[in-house]
Structure formats: C-alpha cells, structure tokens
Structure 1
Amino acid sequence: MARAPLHLKLNRSIVAYAKETEPRVHLPNKTPLNSRVLVLGGTGRVGGSTATALSKLCPDLRIVVGGRNREKGAALVAMLGESSEFAEVNIDNIKSLEAALKDVDLVIHAAGPFQQTETCTVLEAAISTKTAYVDVCDDTSYAWRAKSFHKKAVAANIPAITTAGIYPGVSNVMAAELVRASRGDGRGEPERLRFFYYTAGSGGAGPTILATSFLLLGEDVIAYNKGEKIKLKPYSGMLTIDFGKGIGKRDVYLLNLPEVRSAYEILGVPTVSARFGTAPFFWNWGMVAMTSLLPAEFLRDRSKVQKLVELFDPLVRGIDGIAGERVSMRVDLECSKGRSTLGIFSHRSLSVSVGTATAAFAMAVLEGSTQPGVWFPEEPEGIAIEAREVLLKRAAQGTINFVMNKPPWMVETDPKEIGLGIYV
C-alpha cells in the first residue's frame, strides 16, 4: 500500500521467479568481477531480491547476506550458490557492523524501515571502514541526514548513494534524464516535475510497509510551487493518472516523499510534487479517512501505529492475494515552451523490481560511476550522466512497460487529466 518494502521475510518464490524470467545483462570488462558485496537486511524481501538480482547481473560477485536470522540466511545462500555466504549482523551494534564490513567492497543497506530512524549507523560504519555504500532509504529526514555526511565520505574517499531503490531511486534518474533532454533539445526551461506512483495492494510487503504507510500519513506533504516551498495535507490532492499499458488509470494522492526536495534542489525545477495510489480502490479511501479521523500526533507515534498494523495486517494479506503486486512509476515534465514529456516504468512485481533496481545502482558504484561523497541518484556525481542509460536498462529488466522521453499522447490510453487549484 505504499513505498518499496523493507526488511521483510524472504519469499523463496520471488527469488526463483527472478532467476527464471529476467535475462542477464552483459557487463563491460571494467566490472570488478570478484568484488565482495554485503547486503544488509539480506533475509528480508528487498535485501533478498537485491542479492538475487546481483547474482544474476554478475555471477562472479561474492555476495554476503547480512541479517539476524541464520536459518533464512542459509536458505538464500543455498539458492544463490557457492559465491555467497551468510553473516550474522546487528546494524544497531557498531562493532558488529564494522566486523561485517571488513574486506567488503560495497555495503547495501536494505535493513529498514528508515522512518523515524535518528542515526545513520551503517553509513557511519561504511565511512570509518572506507567501504562504498548504497541504501534504499525512502524517508525524507533520513535521506538528508545521510547527505550531511558528505564531507566525511569525501575525506574517506568513499562513494555513497542514498535513496537508491526503485522509488525513490530509479524515478530520480528518470527525472534527471527528462530534465537533461529538455534542456538539450530546445523545449525551454523545465517548469513542473511530478512523480506519480502506483502499487497494487501492499506489493506483497506485509507489516513493515503498512507501518511505513501509516507513518507517512502523519507527515505534512512538502511540495514546491513556482519556487515556493508549501505544506499540504497528506493523502489529499487526488488526481486520476493514466499509467499506460498494463496498469491503466489509477487515483493517486499527495505524500511526503524524499525525491521531491532532492529533485527541486538538484535539478532546479520550480514546481515539484509526488503522489501515490494503491489498489483495491477502497484502500485509498481508508487512507483518506485515517488522515481525517486520526490526529497527526497519533499517526506519528510508532507504538500506536504498530497496533494499527497488527489490526489490519491479516486483512491486507488476504486481499494482497487477489490484488497482486504490480508497480508503476510515471514521471511528468512540463517545459516553458508548452511541451510535455514523460517516462513510465511498470513491472508485474514490486518485490522483484525493487531488487533489480537496487542491484543496478550497486553495479554502477562498483563500476566506478560514483565520485567520493554522499549523493542522490539524480546527481551526476552519484550516477554519471553517461552511466544513466545502462542503469535504466538494467533496472528495467522484466518490466511490462518502460518508456522515456515520450509525449503523453503516445503513452496514455486517454490523455486527459483532472486539474486542481494548486499547481503541483
């Protein structure tokens, strides 16, 4: 019902599905084939999917599955093969972390959730041990807290990318490419950038993603309107958006997502917003009702939210079996000369696609695309401009629809939009 799922139970069928259906990408010769990569949260849904995607992208990579559950770790290692191993790691213990990072070339932090986490323990450990770093953070506060370690990462000469999953992550790179193309082909200056996301059900995610969804309902939505920072009510501003082939029209609502601020500050677009929607449609109605009936203080209280999760989880799991877990991203850019362009990314499985996307970022770092420092995906120092095409190609493996730099009428089933009073 919301963001990419984090730190969840390993689903063996997802691992098998990814191996059977996604073709291997042939890597350039400069790939460090014998690199050692630690995937924290490796026994969860995102971590397990990432480890699987990495093993497929580059079978010679030595993958260390990091987590607390040795039994689940052993099961994943058995699937990944002899180039993998399990390491028991507690990310809240700095000594445990630093020991796990010894002789590791890259650490992927997929052990969320990141909401309301006050420290960047994994990033700090990566800097102290001079280990390259990627995370799948989906929380605005955490992302900018990670960014505050930029100078320390530069001093340690390590590359780090935050918010490097599917959304935020691939969506940021799509936005950066739309903006770059618009400035290069005479469309005028970018004026409005909007992120639209859709996930069926909870994306097969379970309790953790429910908690993330409810916590986001307690946050004011930060958006930008003609250069002015504005605050809006969460899960308001509904639009009906056409996600094209395989998804169709879906209702989406405003949420406070980290790519809004990073795109505004880095890409220089004066109007930026993000919306999200789910299915079945009554889940959206429930989210709207929660923002109206429950105080924001209640929705920001993790212990109270956890009780809500326990109440709703059985129902969500039952409906997930019917709804599936399709995911779609649509990134729209409008320019000063009246021309619009967009990118669409749709996949039949959120849990598979988020791992594939994260693995694409990991490979870009291993191949030397990232300069020392802490970067967002849309920054060219994080993912070099010349590396974006390869990253998007890798991330799009298995998609049912992936298009870039197309006008809306070429993609939509019915190119019309419902407008609202606020221009976001």
Structure 2
Amino acid sequence: MGGAPLHLKFSAPPLMVSSVRKREVSKPNTDLAIPTDKIKNSTVLILGGTGRVGGSTAVALSKLSPHLQIHVGGRNREKGAETVEKLGKKSKFVEVDINKLDALEAALKDVDLVVHAAGPFQQVGRCTVLEAAIHTKTAYIDVCDDTSYAFRAKSLCEEAMEANVPAITTSGICPGVSNVMAAELVRAAREEGKGEPERLRFSYYTAGTGGAGPTILATSFFLLGEHVVAYCKGEKVKLKPYSGMLNVDFGKGVRKKDVFLLNLPEVRTAHEVLRIPTVSARFGTAPVFWNWGMAFLANHLPQEFLRDRSKVQHLVDFFNPIVRVVDGIAGEHVSMRVDLECSNGCNTLGIFTHRRLSVSVGFAAAAFVLAVLEGSTQPGVWFPEEPDGITVEARQLLLERASQGAINFVMNKPPWMVEMEPNEIGLGIHM
C-alpha cells in the first residue's frame, strides 16, 4: 500500500502509509487500466466468487487489471473451476467457508485484498470476514446492502486503524457507486455556491432481478420485513416498506418508472456523513406486477416471517424459477438516479443506466477494489462517501471505471436538461 508493493501487506506504520498515500492520489491516473508495475504482484480474493455478483467482479477485475492475481473463493469446486477457466491462468479456486474464522484467516494468508460478495447480508449477526481481514492485515471491501451490517462493520473502524487495514463497506453499485455520486453532487453544490444541500433522494430501478440471481431476490424479501428509515428536516422517521410511490424519469434507456420506499443504508450514511437533513431511498422493478407482488407481501406477511432466514429461503426457492423466466423476457436494465435539492432552489442530479446489472455490479465493485489497491483509502472502516474511504481526488476515476458500458451516465446536471421533475404521489412527508 502507498509507496510499497501491496504484496508486503499492511505492515508499515500508519503515519508513513497515510502520508505516502495522499501524495500518490493527489493526481489520479486518468487511464482506466492500472499501471502494471504498481499492483501486478497483488492478489485479490473474492468470497462468493462463484456467484453472479462475485463472478462478475472477478471478470471485471481481470479486464481492468489483467496482471492481478485473482482467487475465487467459494464452497462449490465445480462452479469454481468453471469461473477460473473463464478468468485464465492468473486465477485459482480457493475452497473456503466464510462462517469459519480459522479457514478464513488461512485463505487470507497471502492475499492483499478480500472482496466479500457472499450475501445476503441481512440478518447476519457478525462481520466475520472483516474481523479476519483485520486480524490478517488484509485490505477489505464488501458489497453489503444492509444498514445493520454496514454499521456493525463501521464499529470496527478503530480496530482496523490500529491494524493499519483499509476497509470500505457498502461498496457495490447501489449502495456504493450511488454514494459516490451523491458525495460528488454535494461537493460540487457547496464549492460552486449553489446553496446548502437540503434534500437528497436515491431512486433505483432494475428490470426483474437484473439477472443477479437468488441473492438479490432474498435481499428484496428481507427488506420488506424492515421499517423504512428516512430523514425529514433532520428528524428520523420510520415508514412502511414499499410505500410512498414516486414516478421517476430515469432518462435514456429506461424513462419513467414507479419506485417505492425501502430501508437502504445509504440513507443514514448520506444523512450523517454528507450532513443532508432530508434523505430517502426508493426502488422499483419491472414487469409492474412484481411491484404489486412486493407491496402485497409487505402488507400481508408478518415482519417476523420476513426476518426469518429459513422462511425467506423457502420464498426464494418458490419464486426463483418464475423470476428466471420473467428475467429472460424483461431483460436486466439497471438505473440509478440521485437528486440533490439546495436551499437557493438549485437542483442537480446524477443518472447511471446500464443494460446489464450482472455486468455493471462487477465493474462497480472492481472500481472500489482498484481504488483501495492504488492507495486512496486510509486505514479504518469507511463508507464510500467518506473522504477517508475514497479520496475526493479519486472519485472521478472510480466513477469512470464503474460506468464502463453504461448507456447513460450524467453528473451534476439540472433536471430540465435530462427530464421532467418526478411527480410525488401519496406521501404526507416531502422527502
């Protein structure tokens, strides 16, 4: 890390690493590919590497940085062999169970960075992978999309600092890239004198499950069992999941879609880190009857049922074959829109749209991996919008890498240049 090769792990004193790192990232490389002499000896372990998200991350990493050593971690050797065959000679399969700390630490022994993509993260009581990473002095990112897990990881920040280990939680596409988009909108607004940021709205859309498989399906069901936490003028409010519908225009490739409130971690992190008084997040899918089904489950199934991992797994097993068929028809578009409203009436937004979620989520995670390997992250556990997680100077390059193949990616534009203002429907609180 910093000025030393990453294969030396993170044994240098924290102050030395920090000072070198700041000099290195002050002028980030404008090329998307990584200078091979900088991290060509680095090894990345991807836990959940045989799944859709982890496998996509491995493929994206191999494209962005062909000289990386990629270890595909999982429990299925047959799937692991298939993934490794696609990646080529600089990869190998590692059999590992993330629930066994000793096995995890053994797998991390000669690894420079570990990617935790073995979700779902909901209803998980311990950050075992992060604990192992700290103990073995291995850099870490995860693609967590659960508020409780994210803040449980954040609670290990001091331990990571003491071990001189950089770690980023919620570093996938949404949350993750969307957090960085929000941070850049807020930074630009404050620097350009557009007024004080007052409201931030995250809106997400995927066609079906976006081709991302049963893990995304399980995550969706878990979220239906949680009250939605949002912020209105600095006050924390709890709302019903899959309520508060908005009709949002996602621009080219997607256009207008209905989105609904969900309990997502970027709401709390944006409120606390970016100091935005009003924040909310919504999600919608297609075909439209999936939204009807999600609303039905949220309204009619007890929250205790939707918090039970075994019961949710039964739901996944039942719906997954149907989802696979519908996904084949609906496609797997993904779109994110981040809206920022400021005190002087100046509104700006960012939009990210890709035809394939299963591809874009890999480039998103890979972008975070490379940012950490290049030295843009301080020791500790950080959210993506924190400058100690991804330095301000490194954000543009991260967004460029993450948006590879996007059909629409715009930042810091007024709504009238992109589309109409979304119409708010059925919410007593303006969020």
Is TM > 0.5 for Structure 1 vs Structure 2?
Answer: yes
Match of 1:214 in 2: 221
Q: 1:92 to 1:267 in 2, by over 3 A?
A: same
Q: How does 1:294-313 map to 2 (within 5 A)?
A: 294-313=301-320
Partners in 2 of 1:216 and 1:287 — Cα distance?
10
| Counterpart selection for 2:423 from 410, 417, 420 | 417
Q: Deviations over 1:175-205 (max 9, x none)?
A: 0000000001111100000000000001113
- Post-superposition shift, 1:418? 2.6
Contact 1:30–1:367 at 8 Å: present in 2 too? Answer: no
- Tell me, yes or no, if the aligned pair for 2:36 and 2:67 is still in contact at 8 Å: no
User: How far did 1:29 drift?
Assistant: 6.7
Q: Which region of structure 1 is more displaced relative to structure 2, 152-161 or 300-309?
A: 300-309
For residue 82 of structure 2, the aligned residue among 72, 75, 84 is: 75
| Corresponding position of 2:279 | 272
Deviation at 1:304, TM superposition (A): 2.0
- 2:67 is paired with a residue whose SS is coil
Partner residue of 1:400 out of 407, 425, 429: 407
Q: Which amino acid aligns with 1:281?
A: V
Residue 132 of structure 2 is aligned to residue 131 of structure 1: no
Identity, in percent, stands at 73
Structure 1 residue 244 and structure 2 residue 242: aligned? no
User: SS of the residue aligned with 1:138?
Assistant: coil
Counterpart residue number, 1:103: 110
The answer to whether the aligner puts 1:323 opposite 2:330 as a matched pair is: yes
Shift of the alpha carbon at 1:309? 2.1
Query: How far has the Cα of 1:318 moved from its partner?
Result: 1.2
2:364 matches 1:351: no
**How big is the alpha-carbon RMSD for the aligned residues of Structure 1 and Structure 2?**
1.2
CA-CA distance at 1:28 after TM superposition: 4.5
Could you list the per-position Cα deviations for residues 74-122 of structure 1 after superposition, in whole angstroms to 9, with x for gaps in the alignment?
1111111111111111111111111110111100111111010001110
Please say which of residues 350-359 and 294-303 is displaced more in the overlay.
294-303
Query: What secondary structure, in the 3-state scheme, does the structure 2 residue paired with 1:193 have?
Result: strand
Is the CA contact (8 Å cut-off) linking 2:247 and 2:422 kept in structure 1? no
1:25-52: CA deviations, max 9, x gaps?
3334773121011111111101110011
Counterparts of 2:387 and 2:214, CA distance in 1: 35
CA shift in 2, pair 1:31/1:251, >3 Å: farther
* TM-score normalised to structure 1 length: 0.92
Per-residue displacement from partner, 1:234-258 (whole Å, max 9, x unpaired)? 0000000000000000000000000
SS at the partner of 1:329? strand
Distance 1:304 1:317 in 2: 20
Partner residue, 2:70: 63
Q: Does 1:372 align with 2:363?
A: no
Give yes or no for the alignment of 1:172 onto 2:179.
yes
SS at match of 2:204: strand
Partners of 1:65 and 1:299 in 2: how far apart?
A: 31
Asked if 1:141 corresponds to 2:159, the answer is: no
Q: Distance in 2 between matches of 1:224 and 1:99?
A: 42
Q: Secondary structure at the match of 2:38?
A: coil
Question: Take 2:267 and 2:275, find their aligned partners in 1: how far apart are those partners?
Answer: 11
- Structure 1's consecutive aligned runs of 4 or more residues displaced over 3 angstroms after TM superposition are 28-31
Separation in structure 2 between the aligned mates of residue 66 and residue 26 of structure 1, nearest angstrom? 24
Asked if 1:383 corresponds to 2:395, the answer is no
Question: What TM-score do the two structures reach when normalised by structure 2?
Answer: 0.91
Moved more, 316-325 or 146-155: 316-325
Q: Secondary structure at the match of 1:79?
A: helix
SS at match of 1:31: helix
> Residues 73 and 416 of structure 1: is their aligned pair in 2 closer, same or farther, counting only changes over 3 Å?
closer
Structure 1 match to 2:21: none
Unpaired segments of 5 or more residues in structure 1?
1-23
Letter in 1 for 2:163: A
Aligned partners of 1:31 and 1:366 also within 8 Å: no
SS of equivalent to 2:424:
coil
Q: Secondary structure at 1:399's aligned position in 2?
A: coil
**Could you say what secondary structure the match of 1:382 adopts?**
coil
Task: Tell whether the 8 Å contact from 1:35 to 1:61 is kept in structure 2 after alignment.
Answer: yes
Q: Which amino acid aligns with 2:46?
A: V
